[in-house]
């Protein structure tokens, strides 16, 4: 077989942006959950994913850097005032080799490493240049919660729109209930080719992006297609201190079920 017909696997680097100065939850990456800082939970699940080649944290704070080094993780300092996590990931990509980059939010605790696999493997098998994940909404509360981002897609699986509002709106349903197969949560991770990541972060902040405070809308506003794949794997998103007790309860229940003990 000619060498030029052999598929060469593209490398995948996971970058976890982690800022200290969150307006709603300062120091969030360092909040302790079952004896570990939150950033460690995110890092370890990413590192356990068989589909990625490298994992690192990009932070603007020495305290987060020290915490990551303490558990043996890779960390780089990115101290510029970047607009979004994606812009921080692009800054890391400029100084590293690699073909594809995953932007994994530092407050998205994956409950199974295959959640990343569900994004990486179909992306590498496709001609998409930017991709993300969705999961079916099974809660009316999530549908109407502006902290939970929703996504709707076309028949080919490309994103039509992302919103904090309940989309699509079922006009004739007075209960405004979540509909299986129609309403989907958007998960906070993306994968890009190097060229697409650089192109996206060179663009100015978009009108829709500014209105919804959703960085992925910058891509849609500029005609960049985002392929969306579905996952069944769960994750925990921590946006504010009020989310911590529920996350702790979920993690403790999961650890107990797996036979893991914590001091």
Domains, the chain: 9-235 (3.90.550.10)
Average pLDDT value for residue range 42-59: 95
Average pLDDT value for residue range 175-194: 96
- Please state, in angstroms and rounded to a whole number, the distance separating the CA atoms of residues 115 and 132: 11
Determine how β-strand 54-59 pairs with β-strand 75-77.
parallel
- pLDDT for residue 263: 42
Give tens-digit pLDDT for 193-248.
999 999 999 999 999 999 999 999 999 999 999 999 999 998 888 888 888 998 89
Residue 90 pLDDT exceeds 90 = yes
Mean pLDDT of the chain: 91
Confidence of residue 7 (pLDDT cuts 50, 70, 90): low
- pLDDT for residue 46: 95
Classify burial at 254, counting beta carbons within 10 Å of its beta carbon; exposed 0-12, middle 13-18, buried 19 or more. Answer: middle
- pLDDT for residue 94: 92
Cis amide leading into 168 (omega within 30): yes
Query: CB–CB of 118/234 below 8 Å?
Result: no
Determine how β-strand 75-77 pairs with β-strand 227-230.
unpaired
Determine how β-strand 150-153 pairs with β-strand 54-59.
unpaired
Residue 116 pLDDT exceeds 80 = yes
Q: Identify which of 89, 103, 84 has the alpha carbon closest to the alpha carbon of residue 205.
A: 84
- Please state, in angstroms and rounded to a whole number, the distance separating the CA atoms of residues 9 and 179: 38
Residue 88 pLDDT exceeds 70 = yes
Give tens-digit pLDDT for 135-178.
999 999 999 999 899 999 999 999 999 999 999 999 999 999 99
- pLDDT for residue 23: 72
- pLDDT for residue 5: 41
Residue 106 pLDDT exceeds 90 = no
Alpha helices by DSSP H, the chain: 38-47, 62-70, 85-94, 114-124, 140-144, 194-202, 207-212, 216-221, 244-257
């Amino acid at each position: 077989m000619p060498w030029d017909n052999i598929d060469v696997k593209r490398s995948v680097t996971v970058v976890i942006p982690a800022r200290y100065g969150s307006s709603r939850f300062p120091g969030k990456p360092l909040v302790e959950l079952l004896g570990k800082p939150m950033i460690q939970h995110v890092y370890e699940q990413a590192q356990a994913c068989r589909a990625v080649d490298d994992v690192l944290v990009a932070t603007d704070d020495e305290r987060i850097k020290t915490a990551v080094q303490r558990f043996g993780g890779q960390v780089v300092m990115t101290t510029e005032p970047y607009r979004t996590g994606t812009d921080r990931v692009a800054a890391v990509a400029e100084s590293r080799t690699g073909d594809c980059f995953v932007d994994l939010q530092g407050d998205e605790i994956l409950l199974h490493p295959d959640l990343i696999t569900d994004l990486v493997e179909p992306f590498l098998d496709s001609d998409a240049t930017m991709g993300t994940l969705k999961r079916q909404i099974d809660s009316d509360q999530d549908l109407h919660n502006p902290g939970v981002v929703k996504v709707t897609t076309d028949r080919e699986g490309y994103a039509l729109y992302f919103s904090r509002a309940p989309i699509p709106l079922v006009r004739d349903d007075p209960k405004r209930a979540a509909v299986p197969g129609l309403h989907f949560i958007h998960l906070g991770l993306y994968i890009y080719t190097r060229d697409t990541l650089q192109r996206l972060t060179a663009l100015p902040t978009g009108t829709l992006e500014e209105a919804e405070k959703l960085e992925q809308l910058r891509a849609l506003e500029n005609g960049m297609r985002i392929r969306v794949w579905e996952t069944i794997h769960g994750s925990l998103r921590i946006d504010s201190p009020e989310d911590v007790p529920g996350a702790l309860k979920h993690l403790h229940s999961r650890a107990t079920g797996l036979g893991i003990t914590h001091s």
